[in-house]
Amino acid sequence: MVFVRGTFRVILNVHSLNTEGAVGNYNPLTKAYLVGRSGNTWDIVEANVVSGNMLKHWHARSTAELAKSLGLALCDDCKRGVFYRTRLRVTSEEDMLKKCVIDDLHGFLCTETTVKRESLIKVSFIVPVEEKIFNVTTITHNRVVTEKTGAIAREGMMPFKSEYASGLYAFAIAMDLKYVGIPLANPTTPALSKDERIKRAKLAIQALGSILHGEIGAKQARAFPITKPVEAFVVISKKPIPAPIHAYYVDYAKESIKTYESLVTNGLIGKDDLEIHVYGIDIEANNVNVIKHDSLGSLVNALLKRIEEWLE
């Protein structure tokens, strides 16, 4: 059994990962309101955000690329990066699990037969942290169309404006990897071998690595985010566990450690049934296993190793 719950802080500079669609020649970023602490009171601010849809899509995309490189099963749509409900006519969840890694990890719905699977991977929006370290700016771009003579065409100057944001952002991901390759509608009978299930579960962790390095949204061709992951807090467990407090909140690591300490102290989970892997966070804990990593690579490798050992 393996459950993974992670929350992260990442710097994304000069990105345009989630836009709202152009209004005339203006491309605004997606925005939402966030509640956070400001001194001793609560405050609400409008901030640019990247939607959970976007994050989930890009996790699926990275997973699909990795699956291709290993020759694992993918349906035709997922091979092309089209993560649809599914256009295949499937008569059982088990049938679909055999056909595609992505439909296994990210869920599907066949509207024709109503066979469905919930997503094993759940994500939050990506939002600027509670300390409000973000800003949005507008940059003017120009397209120029020339005639065959070299002259600029009449109406050939096409200025347009796009918003770009820079900030310290946070997001969270939960993965019920216990159920990889197992039909949720009939969880006593795995549809795949243990070997295949481990391979798939490992892909889900590896894809997280790509997300942390900025492969998470739109406009990457001309505004690939200038990214640096700065904090990672990942809990991997043999038993179902609550997610850590979201890294949006300034005190998330300390508060999360307290929660897991009390779970162990109260005997709700065995000390060796869970591990907390951290990067960029200096924290002490009693009664829970905290493993500090000096790189994200080391953290990801440790999780991959645990999946090999713990997935049943």
What residues make contact with Zn ion under the rule CB under 5 A?
75, 78, 100, 102-103
Burial status of residue 109 (CB atoms within 10 A of its CB: 0-12, 13-18, 19 or more)? middle
Render 23-80 in DSSP notation, one character per residue: BTTEEPBPEEEEEEEETTEEEEEEEE-B-HHHHHHHHHHHHHHHHHHHT----HHHHT
Q: Tokens 């939402």 appear where?
A: 32
Q: What backbone phi and psi angles, to 5 degrees, belong to 280? A: 75, 10
Summary count for the chain: helices (H), strands (E): 8, 13
Q: How far apart are CA 232 and CA 71, in angstroms?
A: 30
Shortest distance in whole angstroms from residue 102 CB to Zn ion:
4
- Output 104 or 176, the one with its CB closest to Zn ion: 104
Contacts of 221 (CB under 8 A, 6+ apart): none
Choice between 86 and 227, CB closer to Zn ion: 86
Minimum separation from the CB atom of position 100 to Zn ion (A)? 3
| Closer of 17 and 102 to Zn ion (Cβ) | 102
Q: Which two tokens stand for residue 87?
A: 């256009």
308: helix, coil or strand?
A: helix
CB of 90 to Zn ion, least distance (A): 10
Q: Which is nearer to Zn ion, 53 or 262 (CB)?
A: 53
Q: Distances from the Cα of 271 to the Cαs of 9, 102, 238, in angstroms? A: 26, 33, 11
Give least dist CB 109 to Zn ion, A: 12
Least separation in angstroms between CB 214 and Zn ion: 25
Identity of the residue, 103 or 130, whose beta carbon is nearer to Zn ion in the bound complex: 103
d(CA 182, CA 118): 12
Least distance (Å) between residue 84 CB and Zn ion: 8
Residue 73 main-chain phi, psi, to 5 deg: -65, 130
Nearer to Zn ion, 107 or 217 (CB): 107
What span, in angstroms and rounded, lies between the C-alpha atoms of 310 and 198? Answer: 10
- Quote the least distance from Cβ 60 to Zn ion, whole Å: 9
Distances (CA, A) of 281 to 7, 14, 232, 234, 237: 12, 25, 7, 11, 20
Min dist. Cβ of residue 88 to Zn ion (A): 8
Measured from the CB atom, the residue of 102 and 203 that comes closer to Zn ion is 102
The residue among 103 and 163 lying less far from Zn ion, judged by its C-beta, is 103
